[in-house]
Amino acid sequence: MAAHGQLRQSQVITTYGPGALIDLPHDAAIVGGLETWPSPNQLDEIVDPRLSSLLQNLTEVLAPRLYAPPPQPEQPWLPGQGIGAWRFPEWFVVQEADEGDEQQRSRRLVHRRSLEKGRFEQRPVVPIRFVRACPRGHVDDLDWSGFVHGSEACVHQLWLDERGTTGDLADLVVRCECRKSRRLYEATEFSQRPLGTCRGKRPWLGLDTEEQCDQPSRLLIRTATNAYFSQVVSVLSLPDRGSAVEQAVRGLWDDLQIVDSPADLAFIKKKPLVTETLSLFSDDEVMRTVEQIKRGDPHQRSIKEAELEALLAAPEGYGDDVPVDPDFHARRLPASAWQRDGSRLSSAIEAVVQIHRLREVQALIGFTRFEAAVRDIHGEYDTDVERADIAVEPQWFPAVENRGEGLFVQLRSAAVSAWLDRPAVGERLGALHGQHDAWQKGRPRKRAFVGGPYVLLHTLAHLLIQSMAMRCGYPASSIRERIYVEDGQYGLMLYTGTPDAEGTLGGLVAQARHFEDHLAHALEMGLLCSNDPICAQHATSEDHDQRGLHGAACHGCALIAEPSCEMRNDYLDRALVVPVLGLPDAAFFPRP
2: pLDDT strictly greater than 50? no
The neighbour count for residue 376, using CB atoms within 10 Å, is: 15
pLDDT value of residue 365: 93
537: pLDDT strictly greater than 50? yes
Under the banding of pLDDT at 50, 70 and 90, the label for residue 250 is confident
Average the pLDDT over 158-179 and give the result.
Answer: 84
81: pLDDT strictly greater than 90? no
Long-range contacts, 545-553 (Cβ 8 Å, 24+): 546/439, 548/435, 548/436, 548/438, 548/439, 548/440, 549/435, 549/436, 549/439, 551/428, 551/431, 551/432, 551/435, 551/455, 551/575, 551/576, 552/580, 552/583, 553/459
Q: Phi and psi for 495 in degrees, rounded to 5? A: -150, 165
Under DSSP, is residue 297 helix (H, G, I), strand (E, B) or coil? coil
Nearest to 486 by CA among 270, 309, 242, 268: 309
Average the pLDDT over 427-450 and give the result.
Answer: 85
Residue type, 553: A
Report the C-alpha gap between 490 and 454 in whole angstroms.
Answer: 8
Under the banding of pLDDT at 50, 70 and 90, the label for residue 155 is confident
Q: Phi and psi for 534 in degrees, rounded to 5? A: -60, -45
Quick: pLDDT tens for 310-334.
Answer: 898 888 888 777 777 778 889 999 9
Under the banding of pLDDT at 50, 70 and 90, the label for residue 440 is confident
User: Which stretch, 180-189, 280-289, 435-444, has highest mean pLDDT?
Assistant: 180-189
Of residues 547 and 130, the one with the higher pLDDT is 130
Q: Do 503 and 403 contact (CB within 8 A), yes or no?
A: yes
448: pLDDT strictly greater than 90? no
Q: Phi and psi for 388 in degrees, rounded to 5? A: -80, 140
The neighbour count for residue 388, using CB atoms within 10 Å, is: 25
Under DSSP, is residue 389 helix (H, G, I), strand (E, B) or coil? coil
Under the banding of pLDDT at 50, 70 and 90, the label for residue 120 is low
Under the banding of pLDDT at 50, 70 and 90, the label for residue 503 is low
Report the C-alpha gap between 113 and 429 in whole angstroms.
Answer: 59
Average the pLDDT over 163-179 and give the result.
Answer: 83
Of residues 29 and 542, the one with the higher pLDDT is 29
Beta strand 125-127 pairing with 91-94: antiparallel
Beta strand 396-411 pairing with 65-67: parallel
Q: Phi and psi for 177 in degrees, rounded to 5? A: -70, -10
- What ranges do the domains of the chain cover? 240-312, 328-379+390-576
409: pLDDT strictly greater than 70? yes
- Of 1-5, 9-13, 234-238, 468-472, least confident by mean pLDDT is 1-5
Nearest to 176 by CA among 141, 143, 149: 149
Q: Do 464 and 494 contact (CB within 8 A), yes or no?
A: yes
Nearest to 402 by CA among 46, 4, 38, 17: 46
pLDDT value of residue 579: 94
Average the pLDDT over 199-227 and give the result.
Answer: 90
Of residues 101 and 173, the one with the higher pLDDT is 173
Q: What is the DSSP letter of 127?
A: E
Nearest to 36 by CA among 88, 84, 86, 73: 84
Under DSSP, is residue 270 helix (H, G, I), strand (E, B) or coil? coil
pLDDT value of residue 99: 57
CA 111 to chain centre: 37
pLDDT value of residue 520: 93
Beta strand 139-140 pairing with 130-133: antiparallel
pLDDT value of residue 417: 95
Q: What is the DSSP letter of 314?
A: P
Average the pLDDT over 114-123 and give the result.
Answer: 68
Report the C-alpha gap between 467 and 459 in whole angstroms.
Answer: 13
Q: Do 346 and 273 contact (CB within 8 A), yes or no?
A: no
Q: Do 574 and 559 contact (CB within 8 A), yes or no?
A: no
pLDDT value of residue 385: 65
pLDDT value of residue 319: 77
pLDDT value of residue 474: 87
CA 154 to chain centre: 46
Whole-number percent of the chain with pLDDT over 70: 90
pLDDT value of residue 4: 47
Report the C-alpha gap between 36 and 38 in whole angstroms.
Answer: 7
pLDDT value of residue 47: 87
Q: Do 195 and 379 contact (CB within 8 A), yes or no?
A: no
Alpha-carbon torsion (66, 71, 77, 81), positive or negative: negative
5: pLDDT strictly greater than 60? no
Q: Do 245 and 306 contact (CB within 8 A), yes or no?
A: no
- Of 67-76, 140-149, 281-290, 427-436, least confident by mean pLDDT is 67-76
Max Cα–Cα distance, the chain, nearest Å: 95
Nearest to 32 by CA among 46, 44, 22: 22
Alpha-carbon torsion (513, 519, 524, 529), positive or negative: positive
pLDDT value of residue 317: 86
498: pLDDT strictly greater than 90? no
Average the pLDDT over 90-95 and give the result.
Answer: 88
pLDDT value of residue 379: 75
pLDDT value of residue 541: 56
Q: Do 477 and 564 contact (CB within 8 A), yes or no?
A: yes
15: pLDDT strictly greater than 80? yes
- Of 39-48, 447-456, 472-481, 503-512, least confident by mean pLDDT is 503-512
pLDDT value of residue 240: 64
Under the banding of pLDDT at 50, 70 and 90, the label for residue 383 is low
Is the pTM higher than 0.85? Answer: no
Under the banding of pLDDT at 50, 70 and 90, the label for residue 543 is very low
Please state, rounded to an integer, the average pLDDT across all residues of the chain.
85
pLDDT value of residue 243: 63
